[in-house]
Structure 1
């Protein structure tokens, strides 16, 4: 199924010509979407498995756009598909945008190759001209449906005599080219489903290879392109498993060696229903707009299925490449739980924060977003300094010397830090002493005592220690703990709800807490 690529290297040395032959295994896989829509989760998973397979074997990952269905093309979809692959961190090695030695990588630019292949099949009698009208084909379909049969072409034109064919060609009768399916299909070994055999000739009519407009169907174009692009392995959805029997017949008829095939099980919703483009929430662009990290999405779609030695949350692309094992892919469908996307994103955001390199990028991204969202309301630009933003991202969890996700794990994406609940991080609230007294008559004493506590230093080091100190302070002031917390929350954020008071104080830092409480005490 898959061999080696033979390369001959020749050169001259001291007038003598030497020739050396070397063999080098070459893995080449392709992701071949149709730009009739934008990239969705099912397509991303297929692209990812191809990319993992190629990267693990130091091969090439090719993006090929199958745009022969001209009536259903969506403007901008072709560029958007490659944009999303780049965003996801799995850009192709070869594509229409990136170039390569086996282009063009858009099928509508390769029509001559398909015409040549069709002519070769006609010449060897593996294909024939079909002159049946759309009206006749529609009648066949309706009749089959009325009788409860699966619609299929009756292969009528396969039996035309040569002189009949020539007469119709001379008259310019519209025609297509159909492939003669052989009966007695041979079994083939799929890398996922094992030995498989589909007697397609018994259940299907001869398929169209070349349409009347000169454009190929998927069957011809994919076979021709896989051959000319030297594809070694085809990893695609299991919906194409039956069609592979036809494709193998085409390869044999054209005298070409087919690639190895691996058909991936379907990606389904959690309830077992099919992913549908009409759902609207399965497109990759939508996840990007919702601030989902690309590594979170890759982790989610691989976690839903099989193909890895281990299954755990938090794997990044390099780990997916290392752990990918095509022999571990099972034949049963993968169930995707989209409700877990925020859980996955929280884990991967934490990983970005912990990594010194990605943390720097994250800090700059957050800074730019804060400027864009709150820029005109920021009175103290110290909130834009790296040390402050890093403190916001790296809150300490209780007394353990480990970093936890933003604001004690409540945040799953940066965008949430820009919302109303966390605006106190960037904008100093305007709160009067009277507003604090409306909450508690002891508001002034509470604010003064907390200023003294914080000013002494050391208390704002962890949420656990801070909560313990505030409870002791409640006892000394002879007030209720809820009153103390409401006063502090209002003074620090001008809000009634949000993160815990200890988290607020920890993220703001001792100096900023004192500044805000002192401002609230001013008459």
Structure 2
């Protein structure tokens, strides 16, 4: 929060909440605390002030009294000459007497770092050997602003040193600034950490990932029912640093497989159209895990009450055993938990109001068909797949005198769901289970 003009209230807290949601909470943070706090830069201003004083005393930095108006004129002149705007280092050459005179007059000032030529090459863990002669293309950078807040260049070096950071992994846009930061480490007399600059995530069209291209905030994904494991999975699949591409990896697997030497310098294209398939894989894993499944049961119960509450959902279809059965039988078929409260699955939660006359209008053998199906469901322990149930239903139809198979399916679909269309009858019967199927048929035939 060093740029106070751009601070958004609640943004930092939101970032930490999303990290918690994603299952990758920070080891240390403003909220959690830790041995190297405080963890907000606005609360470390005295540390940055002392660090800038050290550089001033060593002659590695100087006070700059240039006004904002003069800097703006420099910028406009450079642009008019088709040159890259840069500070002309004017105040670098002020004598101690001139500095003291300006301070006595109460002129505002910032601290600038002296960029020296002849930077040493450094080995980036991703990009290999690099060096950037920043003094040839940049003016001396501001490291402490007039309001006492540091710029990123000073803050990241000071923080990383005092927090004992061994490795810095950051976006590739900072690669050209690393030589500048290494000059700061050298001026302080500190050993620098190792650096690894990471290729960017891009939209599938090759453009920079941006909120202008769509809602890419984590809160949106959480709200829409995406699992954090699915987001981690798709991001690491489109990037690199792993032994091979593989959908469905857990965080533990990602950690064990990661090799920093495998990261390439190519930007990664993030195709979010594939995210639902990643979510389906991880939702299946959640359903198969007994502990995670119980959480899904509670969430699905709440969803059902929210979506179908005004239709007087019978409490029996909200029982834990029934909801758990639905999850287990639909795993692999759904990408989101909300799929189970869509219109296609409304038959699971809302019992139809169907009369005996409606069923007999389809077939005069409605009572006989109902009895045959009830008998089949009583023996359903032997029926373990939808294919077997479909064959059993075909066999039942052969026991009727005159009802066609299509008419029997229409009759059963109406009795079970009250709908003309939807999943196959075998799928509905298997998902509803013997007790619910028998209950609905009895209710329809007695109504």
State the TM bucket, normalised to the shorter chain: over 0.9
Other-structure match for 1:128? 62
Other-structure match for 1:508? 432
Does 1:161 pair with 2:84?
no
Q: 1:213 aligns with which of 120, 125, 147?
A: 147
How far residue 183 of structure 1 moved from its aligned partner, in angstroms, is 1.1
Q: Give, in whole Å, the separation in 2 of the partners of 1:254 and 1:440.
A: 91
Q: Give, in whole Å, the separation in 1 of the partners of 2:250 and 2:112.
A: 46
Q: Is the 8 A contact 1:299 1:314 kept in 2?
A: yes
Q: Give, in whole Å, the separation in 2 of the partners of 1:206 and 1:235.
A: 25
Does 1:429 pair with 2:352?
yes
Residues 178-327 of structure 1 aligned to structure 2 (within 5 Å): 178-327=112-261
Q: 2:324 aligns with which of 381, 385, 390?
A: 390
How far residue 444 of structure 1 moved from its aligned partner, in angstroms, is 5.5
Other-structure match for 2:396? 473
Does 1:177 pair with 2:111?
yes
Judge which range, 160-169 or 329-338, deviates more.
Answer: 160-169
Q: 2:338 aligns with which of 415, 426, 433?
A: 415
Instruction: Give structure 2 stretches of 5+ with no counterpart.
Output: none
Q: Is the 8 A contact 2:363 2:403 kept in 1?
A: no
Q: Is the 8 A contact 2:287 2:296 kept in 1?
A: yes
Q: Give, in whole Å, the separation in 2 of the partners of 1:232 and 1:113.
A: 20
How far residue 491 of structure 1 moved from its aligned partner, in angstroms, is 2.0
Greater helix percent: which structure? 2
Q: CA RMSD in A?
A: 2.1
Other-structure match for 2:407? 483
* SS of 2:246 mapped into structure 1: coil
Q: Give, in whole Å, the separation in 2 of the partners of 1:109 and 1:99.
A: 13
Q: Is the 8 A contact 1:459 1:469 kept in 2?
A: no
How far residue 442 of structure 1 moved from its aligned partner, in angstroms, is 6.2
Other-structure match for 1:454? 377
Other-structure match for 2:43? 109
| Closer/same/farther in 2, CA of residues 205 and 456 from structure 1, 3 Å limit | same
| Closer/same/farther in 2, CA of residues 124 and 426 from structure 1, 3 Å limit | same
How far residue 429 of structure 1 moved from its aligned partner, in angstroms, is 1.7
Q: Give, in whole Å, the separation in 1 of the partners of 2:359 and 2:209.
A: 53
How far residue 122 of structure 1 moved from its aligned partner, in angstroms, is 1.1
Q: Is the 8 A contact 1:68 1:216 kept in 2?
A: yes
Q: 1:75 aligns with which of 1, 9, 13?
A: 9
How far residue 375 of structure 1 moved from its aligned partner, in angstroms, is 4.9
Q: Give, in whole Å, the separation in 2 of the partners of 1:99 and 1:417.
A: 41
How far residue 480 of structure 1 moved from its aligned partner, in angstroms, is 4.2
Q: How many residues align?
A: 446
Alpha-carbon deviations, 1:187-214, whole Å to 9, x = none? 1011111111111111111111011111
How far residue 385 of structure 1 moved from its aligned partner, in angstroms, is 2.9
| Closer/same/farther in 2, CA of residues 436 and 174 from structure 1, 3 Å limit | farther
How far residue 87 of structure 1 moved from its aligned partner, in angstroms, is 0.9
* SS of 1:241 mapped into structure 2: helix
Tell me the TM-score normalised to structure 2 length: 0.94
* SS of 2:31 mapped into structure 1: coil
Q: Give, in whole Å, the separation in 1 of the partners of 2:234 and 2:109.
A: 47
Q: Is the 8 A contact 1:219 1:247 kept in 2?
A: yes
Other-structure match for 1:463? 386
* SS of 2:63 mapped into structure 1: strand
Q: Give, in whole Å, the separation in 2 of the partners of 1:456 and 1:122.
A: 88
Q: Give, in whole Å, the separation in 2 of the partners of 1:439 and 1:278.
A: 55
Q: Give, in whole Å, the separation in 1 of the partners of 2:382 and 2:416.
A: 17
Q: Give, in whole Å, the separation in 1 of the partners of 2:443 and 2:346.
A: 18
| Closer/same/farther in 2, CA of residues 414 and 137 from structure 1, 3 Å limit | same
Q: Give, in whole Å, the separation in 1 of the partners of 2:201 and 2:361.
A: 56
Does 1:497 pair with 2:396?
no
| Closer/same/farther in 2, CA of residues 416 and 158 from structure 1, 3 Å limit | same
| Closer/same/farther in 2, CA of residues 274 and 482 from structure 1, 3 Å limit | farther
How far residue 393 of structure 1 moved from its aligned partner, in angstroms, is 1.4
Q: Is the 8 A contact 1:459 1:466 kept in 2?
A: no
Q: Is the 8 A contact 2:305 2:313 kept in 1?
A: no
How far residue 102 of structure 1 moved from its aligned partner, in angstroms, is 0.7
Instruction: Give structure 1 stretches of 5+ with no counterpart.
Output: 1-66, 396-404
Q: Is the 8 A contact 2:351 2:417 kept in 1?
A: yes
How far residue 78 of structure 1 moved from its aligned partner, in angstroms, is 1.0
